[in-house]
């Protein structure tokens, strides 16, 4: 028995210390199962997994950027713009009557939008030397404005309905409920592989820790930054496909609440905003945790307003604890009051 304890301590404890989100997640699950009515039902669990899916995709993309020490505010606007443009293509454009045609085109366009915005973001940071938080703040507003403008031009309401049924498969309609979950998991797997196994991933981490050392060691710093902005945008585009399919309409209010949950998932998951630390394995846990919170709170009748407060508090707590833990580990972070 003692032996078992020792083995546990040696193998399990470091994992818990490195990812404090894990025990938090487990405990929350248990609490939810016990105290939240209707949580542990098949229906709800299915919902839960579906909700996590698009959040996971978009958070994975954001993780790349945060690992580099930056941020991407535009991801949720990409979601919105993709949603309305895609819906338009599938419901109102000349291609609409031919779903076999309109759906693939819409998918390509939605991803393309993400790609394009990502390129703009990346170039703003590398060529114009703008800090990422401002560049993406600006693109967020511009893209959002475009989305709302576009919607008002093609529809009387703030949503575009009439999408082909075949498209809903991607959203987990009926017996295809596993589709978005599968897609999300694949995206996560790809991210994990990219960050953990490829040279690109290694570069992202290195540049996140110290761009100067990376530059002198021959790493293509600017190119990598543009690439990770593109990934962030692209993943947002993919998420918009799934979210639109799930909601079955194109909505100009789609991305509204999402940014907070996305950044919370990444930060609470454990990826550090100073760069170089963390990864999508942590983001996955963060996503699961935040979605759990969301789901449970919904079931308990707690509104979005409270959720906003909770998320804000969680973000601060994560940042504070990350600072306290790092001071103890004896790292030297030489920073001014703010190094963005």
Partner 1 sequence: MREQKQWSGEYLSWLTRYGIYVVLLLLVIVFSLGNRRFFTVENLLLILQQASPLGIAVVGTVFVLLVVGIDISVGRSMFFVSTLAGCLVNTTGIIPETYFADMRGPALVVVMVLLLGGIVGWINGFLVTRFRILPFIVTLATGSILRGVGLKISGSASIGVAVLGRLSNGQVGPIPNVLIIFALVLVVFDYVLRHTVYGRHLMAIGNSARNAERAGIKVNRNTVIAYVICGALGAFGGILSAGQIGSVSAGFGEGNEFIVISAAVLGGTSLFGGKGNILPGAVIGIILITTIMNGLAMMNASPFIYTIVRGLIIFFAIALDSMGHKGELR
Partner 2 sequence: MSDTALRLTDVRKAFSGVEVLHGLDFDLRKGEVLGLVGENGAGKSSLMNIVGGVLPMDSGTMELFDEPYAPRSPSYATEKGIAFIHQEPNLFTNLTVAENMFIDGFPKTRFGAIDGKAIGRITQDCIDRFSLPVTPDTKVEFLSAGIRQMVEISKALMKNARIMIFDEPTTSLSRREKEGLFKTIDELKQRGISIVYISHIIEDVFRLCDRITVLRDGLIAGTSPVSEISENELIKRMVGREMTRIFPSIEKTISDTVLLEATSIKWQERVNGVSLRLRAGEIVGLYGLMGAGRTELAKVLFGVEQRDHGELAINGRALSHVSPGVCIGENAAFITEDRHNEGLLTTKSVDDNLSLVKMADLTNRVGVVNVGERARYNRQAIKDLQIKVADPKHQLANSLSGGNQQKVVFGKWVMKDPKVFILDEPTRGVDVGAKFEIYSIIVNLAKRGSAVLFISSEIQELIGTCDRIVVMKDGCITGDVPKSEFDQERILQMALQGQG
Residues that bind partner 2 (CB under 8 A): 197-200, 202-203, 205-206, 209-210, 212-220, 276-277, 331-332
Residue choice 141, 182, 199, 213 for contact with partner 1 (CB under 8 A): 141
Report the 10 Å Cβ neighbour count for 45: 12
Nearer to partner 2, 91 or 277 (CB): 277
Nearer to partner 2, 14 or 23 (CB): 14
Residue 47's Cβ-side half-sphere holds a number of Cα atoms within 13 Å equal to 14
CB 88 within 8 A of CB 150: yes
Q: Which does 325 bind (CB under 5 to 8 A by kind): partner 1, partner 2, none?
A: none
Q: Give CA–CA dist 152/157, Å, rounded.
A: 7
> What's the min distance (Å) between Cβ of 7 and partner 1?
36
Residues belonging to the chain? 340
Q: Which residues pair with 251 in a beta bridge?
A: 159
Q: Which residues of 226-252 are buried (b: 16+ CB within 10 A; e: fewer)?
A: bbbbbbbbbbbbbbbbbbbbbbbbbbb
Given a contact cutoff of 8 angstroms between Cβ atoms, the answer to whether 248 and 168 are in contact is: yes
**Any idea which residue has 């193998």 for tokens?**
11
Residues 202-221 binding partner 1 (CB under 8 A) are 211-212, 221
Binding region for partner 1 (CB under 8 A) out of 3-11, 42-50, 282-290, 328-336 = 328-336
Q: Binds 217, which of partner 2, partner 1, none (CB < 5 to 8 A, cut-off by type)?
A: partner 2
Task: State the nearest-atom distance from the C-beta of 305 to partner 1, in Å.
Answer: 4
Residue 283 touching partner 1 (CB under 8 A): no
Residue 193 sits in the site that holds partner 1 (CB under 8 A):
no
Given candidates 274, 298, 299, 300, which one binds partner 1 under the rule CB under 8 A?
Answer: 274
Q: Is 100 in the site for partner 1 (CB under 8 A)?
A: no
Residue 142 within binding range of partner 1, rule CB under 8 A: yes
208: left (phi over 0), alpha (psi -120 to 50) or beta: alpha
Residue 135 makes contact with partner 1 by CB under 8 A: yes
134 binds partner 1 (CB under 8 A): yes
Residue 57 contacts residue 235 (beta carbons within 8 Å): yes
């Amino acid at each position: 028995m003692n032996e078992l304890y020792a083995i546990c301590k040696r193998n399990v404890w470091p994992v818990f210390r490195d990812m404090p989100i894990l025990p938090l997640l487990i405990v929350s699950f248990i609490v939810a199962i016990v105290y939240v009515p209707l949580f542990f039902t098949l229906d709800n669990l299915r919902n839960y997994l579906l909700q996590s899916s698009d959040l996971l995709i978009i958070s994975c993309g954001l993780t790349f950027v945060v690992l580099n020490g930056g941020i991407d505010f535009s991801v949720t606007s990409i979601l919105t713009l993709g949603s309305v443009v895609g819906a338009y293509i599938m419901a109102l454009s000349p291609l609409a009557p031919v779903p076999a045609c309109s759906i693939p085109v819409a998918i390509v366009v939605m991803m393309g939008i993400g790609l394009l915005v990502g390129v703009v973001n990346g170039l703003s940071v590398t060529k114009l030397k703008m800090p990422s938080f401002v560049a993406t703040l600006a693109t967020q507003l511009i893209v959002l404005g475009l989305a709302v403008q576009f919607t008002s031009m093609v529809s009387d309401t703030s949503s575009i309905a009439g999408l082909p049924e075949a498209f809903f498969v991607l959203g987990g309609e009926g017996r295809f409920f596993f589709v978005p979950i599968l897609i999300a998991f694949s995206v996560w797997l790809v991210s994990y592989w990219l960050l953990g196994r490829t040279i690109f991933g290694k570069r992202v981490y290195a540049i996140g820790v110290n761009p100067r050392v990376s530059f002198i060691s021959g790493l293509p710093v600017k190119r990598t930054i543009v690439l990770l902005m593109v990934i962030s945008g692209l993943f947002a585009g993919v998420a918009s496909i799934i979210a639109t399919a799930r909601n079955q309409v194109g909505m100009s209010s789609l991305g509204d609440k999402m940014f907070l949950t996305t950044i919370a998932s990444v930060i609470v998951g454990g990826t550090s905003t100073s760069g170089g630390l963390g990864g999508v394995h942590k983001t996955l846990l963060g996503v699961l945790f935040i979605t759990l919170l969301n789901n449970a709170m919904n079931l308990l009748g707690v509104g979005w307003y409270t959720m906003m407060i909770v998320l804000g508090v969680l973000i601060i707590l994560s940042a504070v604890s990350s600072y306290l833990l790092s001071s103890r580990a004896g790292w030297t972070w030489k920073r001014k009051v703010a190094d963005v």
